[in-house]
Structure 1
């Protein structure tokens, strides 16, 4: 069996067993008849290979696959009440799937087209990840789009967060001890120092960002219930690809779909809603709806002057 085919196998196994528990013969039949196996010319899949794959899936993705549940020999994925790493595992698995597919087929550029507008800064990712894990103080220059100036920063790195197809460093600025985010695409001359910071910051970043959209600093604010009225077609798109983990379907009429969120009405979320134009309207709270009205009025006035 091809050595560079393992990630594709893992993805197929997880995808199939998540949707429906299977016995080994059923899983073998599914895999051997998949386009992925046919395309790679793989014609066998032993029970020993499955057992090795299960161990590696557990190690790489923290997903536990078991069988022999109450006399049932089918394989199933063990679930906990809350599997916090589900999103991370899914994202990692998707990335591996794409990477593995491209490695297996060098002619991919004739059939697969990536978004050409990509943010820079990902070359810093591992250095920052190392600094976070080892509590290393870092220094860098950061460019501010508003002031068009670069400033030297010295920070205690805490986490990396993705938002809007960009990556951000979440850290404590040593200058004022404030929690701040820095876009990786605006960081230059990064230095991971040998000095460690000893502070054990009490901020729970998972909780901090649980009710946020984007990377805005929302310290001292309370999340709110936000209700959107969406045009039927746009509402279906948002239902299938939720804007936020708190998104909840409320109801629908012949023309609209109503969705509820529980988060901070930040600038980032406002910009996201403005991108939908007339297809999305804020039903509540009124204060947030008024902010949107003000933005739309300003945009209209800008066009009036042209």
Structure 2
């Protein structure tokens, strides 16, 4: 191996080591709540990342702390009056989710698995096939504000079409990655599934992301990735009975979900969102559970629509039964 290649390999290894140390430090302080430097040092000496069991120099600790602020936008503060206890500033922001939490949780779990090699085959994850091929290229284009030339074939078209888009943000939903992009031909925002992209090329054309564009606000009234301008956000009330209530309580369908009425046998859940077809599909998925029932109370048009879907399913079942 040439000296330059060895140097590059060593540089990548050092960068990965530092990154893992940053994640370890944030995870350690976050889980502790408040912790002294001495306690951090003790845990570092026992960490699998520390193969030699050496102590953590105070200067190195502060260097890591500064790097974490720049890389993750996470501030590690010190309460000097309370005994020099270190803590994560605004830790509640991390608990609300977002990319920082996702990154930290991913690497923290990965680190824990690496510490317990014998558990690797006993920890199973869901695969996201659409993220394998184009996600990195799209994120790089977002970083550099470059447009993408995309060859895309939706499920409704027999052939692929090629066009140029400006990638605004990416989102994962139901094991699929999506990119929200602005078409350079008509300036309209559209959502594209990465598993339907046939070819992708990063162009030399630059674009300017609008200063007032807020990805979270764009999807705030949507269950997933469908933002239909013809379907306005409105109040939806759903009665859920049986054990199915527990599923909604522990994993809300939408951020606006509230349980407004509770009886021994049922609860009423309220939402404020766009009741698009993906929301209807989600209700049908829960309704298919034999341990509970779901009834749309409001709005009336959605109640009638879901009732008709139920009738269609029953008729289809009867037809299939007769054919058999």
**TM-score for the superposition, normalised by structure 2:** 0.77
Structure 2 residue corresponding to 1:178, chosen from 158, 170, 188: 188
Q: Distance in 1 between matches of 2:89 and 2:316?
A: 56
Q: Distance in 2 between matches of 1:238 and 1:96?
A: 28
Q: Distance in 1 between matches of 2:108 and 2:32?
A: 15
Kindly report which structure 2 residues correspond to 1:43-122, keeping only aligned pairs within 5 A, or say none. Answer: 46=56, 48=58, 51-68=62-79, 71=82, 73-79=84-90, 86-115=97-126, 118-122=128-132
Secondary structure in structure 2 of the residue aligned to 1:148? coil
Secondary structure in structure 1 of the residue aligned to 2:134? helix
Query: 1:231 touches 1:256 (CA, 8 Å); kept in 2?
Result: yes
Structure 2 residue corresponding to 1:285, chosen from 299, 302, 311: 299
Compare 59-68 and 197-206 and name the one that shifted more: 197-206
Q: Which residue of 2 aligns with 1:275?
A: 285
Q: Distance in 2 between matches of 1:11 and 1:68?
A: 18
Larger Rg: 2
Q: Which residue of 2 aligns with 1:11?
A: 27
Q: Which residue of 2 aligns with 1:231?
A: 241
Structure 2 CA distance for partners of 1:26 and 1:132, relative to 1, 3 Å: closer
Query: 1:10 touches 1:53 (CA, 8 Å); kept in 2?
Result: no
Secondary structure in structure 2 of the residue aligned to 1:120? helix
Secondary structure in structure 1 of the residue aligned to 2:133? helix
Cα distance, 1:43 vs structure 2? 6.5
Kindly report which structure 2 residues correspond to 1:254-269, keeping only aligned pairs within 5 A, or say none. Answer: 254-269=264-279
Query: 2:183 touches 2:189 (CA, 8 Å); kept in 1?
Result: yes
Q: Distance in 2 between matches of 1:42 and 1:251?
A: 58
Cα distance, 1:90 vs structure 2? 1.4
Return 5+ residue gaps in structure 2 as ranges. Answer: 1-16
Structure 2 CA distance for partners of 1:212 and 1:51, relative to 1, 3 Å: same
Return 5+ residue gaps in structure 1 as ranges. Answer: none
Q: Distance in 2 between matches of 1:266 and 1:173?
A: 23
Q: Distance in 2 between matches of 1:255 and 1:95?
A: 38
Q: Distance in 2 between matches of 1:236 and 1:44?
A: 48
Q: Deviations over 1:210-240 (max 9, x none)?
A: 1111111333543212223223532223222
Compare 227-236 and 138-147 and name the one that shifted more: 227-236
- Count of aligned pairs: 298
Matched, 1:211 2:235: no
Cα distance, 1:198 vs structure 2? 5.2
Q: Distance in 2 between matches of 1:104 and 1:10?
A: 17
Query: 1:122 touches 1:184 (CA, 8 Å); kept in 2?
Result: no
Structure 2 CA distance for partners of 1:169 and 1:42, relative to 1, 3 Å: same
Query: 1:168 touches 1:183 (CA, 8 Å); kept in 2?
Result: yes
**TM-score for the superposition, normalised by structure 1:** 0.81
RMSD: 3.4
Secondary structure in structure 2 of the residue aligned to 1:249? strand
Compare 217-226 and 79-88 and name the one that shifted more: 79-88
Q: Deviations over 1:104-147 (max 9, x none)?
A: 455554222233x5333432112111212222221121122123
Secondary structure in structure 2 of the residue aligned to 1:282? strand
